[in-house]
Amino acid sequence: MTKLKQILIFIILFTASVNAYSVDYWLQLTSPTTRFLRSVTFLDSLNGWAAGDSGTIIHTSNGGLSWVVQPTDIEEHHIGCIFFLNENLGWALAWDISWDTISYYGTIVLNTTNGGVNWTSERYPENDVFFNTIIFLDSLTGYMGGVPVNLVKTTDGGANWALCNIDSVIFAGFPVASFSFYNSRIGYASGGYIDIAGVIFKTTNYGEFWTAKAVGPEPVNGMMLFDSLRVLGVGGDYEYGTGIVRTTNGGTNWEYENLQIFGIAFSVAFRTHAEGWAPLGFAQKWIYTLDSGKSWLNIDTPDSSMIYDVIFTDKRNGFAVGEDGVILKYNQSAINVPNNQNILPVENTLYQNYPNPFNPSTVIRYSLSQTSYVALKIYDLLGREVMTVVNDVQRADNYSINFSGSTLPSGVYFYRLLTRTLNSKDTKESVITRKMLMIK
């Protein structure tokens, strides 16, 4: 085979691999609407709600297999945020900016006490105040964030709202986009103006007083709290693309990084402590991290969908929503973890490595139904062995191997699992091969 042919084969496989793997992590669900869904919230792996354009609220009680539309009385308004505290209590926010009600421009607060079967709506009492986000810590204590009023708090379930005190006049009026609380005492809010500053607000006294700090040049739209000190924020702008902010000391110092990826990160959610996902909306891409936000990769969304909000309820269940009523669910099979690790496998299995593509590490999992001699080896595109990962006798069980390709160049590789049972009366040998892609 000539070198030119080798290069052409590599390019073809490389392109095919990227296109195939870009949609493996997320699967599209059947949606009851074609309207833009801007916000999603789930209580657990089964019960969730999504909301968006034209007063649309939809609900699932079976993990997204089916959805029902919950009627509201604000069909002419766009719902930008929905939040549920438990299976009964929920809130949503919409903006009233219609021309036929020029006497009022502001926020409509929706509330349900029966899981969304019935929604009531009332206007926030102050005109020209637009809230973007709402969160409740219990049935009485809640917060809203927006513009030009940054932060308000309720202690009576939303019957009354009071302005929160902020330490800086400089950031008074800067929009708040999201909340994230470590506990009832310590919480963060994020926001900012494009081309002016991204801002993080922090409270350490139950929301009575907030400090505000500029953390970068662009707004921060979503956050992840790893603990009370380590916080990650995502955002960006239309010109410079996606931006990330990080702190490891509770906000005393912040690090800003421009990822040089087109698109704005509109939210962020973590499947595990290490693996997180952020949708880039109109850019029709995801960014994802496998090391708690230290580095990021990007892949296309399924069917070029525009995704704006994402949530994980546990390691297996994640949901995302966006334009045209699209609903995505995290593909559990991509994790390659058997549902019950205590049940011995009934056959030898080699799972697809995860993540894939990877840089430079990935996890290879396999299962053995009997005690066997095992050889797990890595081969390059030309079939040459480049590494032996396992060469041992192993008992029947599920196995997980952390494979590092740090010493190998980028490219397509094959990993092969050879097993040979040790029962002399019925010796069986099997070979299973899968493909993986490393991009440095």
Out of 79-88, 221-230, 425-434, which region has the weakest mean confidence (pLDDT)?
Answer: 425-434
- Tell me the fold of 349-438: Immunoglobulin-like (2.60.40)
Report pTM.
Answer: 0.75
Out of 30-34, 102-106, 304-308, which region has the weakest mean confidence (pLDDT)?
Answer: 102-106
Under the banding of pLDDT at 50, 70 and 90, the label for residue 7 is: very low
Stretch 18-33: mean pLDDT, rounded?
Answer: 73
**CA-wise closest residue to 49 among 59, 39, 38, 61:** 59
Q: What pLDDT is recorded for position 18?
A: 41
Domain ranges of the chain: 23-334, 349-438
Q: What pLDDT is recorded for position 219?
A: 97
Q: What pLDDT is recorded for position 217?
A: 95
pLDDT at 179 over 90: yes
Stretch 47-51: mean pLDDT, rounded?
Answer: 98
pLDDT at 154 over 80: yes
**CA-wise closest residue to 329 among 50, 82, 34:** 50
Q: What pLDDT is recorded for position 341?
A: 43
Main-chain dihedrals φ then ψ at residue 403, nearest 5 degrees: -105, 130
Q: What pLDDT is recorded for position 11?
A: 43
Q: What pLDDT is recorded for position 261?
A: 93
Question: Each residue of 83-106: pLDDT tens digit?
Answer: 999 999 999 999 987 655 555 689
Question: Each residue of 242-253: pLDDT tens digit?
Answer: 999 999 999 999
Q: What pLDDT is recorded for position 333?
A: 75
> 317 versus 332: which is more confidently predicted?
317
Average pLDDT, the chain: 89
Q: What pLDDT is recorded for position 102?
A: 55
> Which CATH architecture does the domain made up of 23-334 adopt?
7 Propeller (2.130)
Under the banding of pLDDT at 50, 70 and 90, the label for residue 297 is: confident
Q: What pLDDT is recorded for position 431?
A: 94
pLDDT at 321 over 80: yes
pLDDT at 342 over 80: no
Stretch 318-325: mean pLDDT, rounded?
Answer: 98
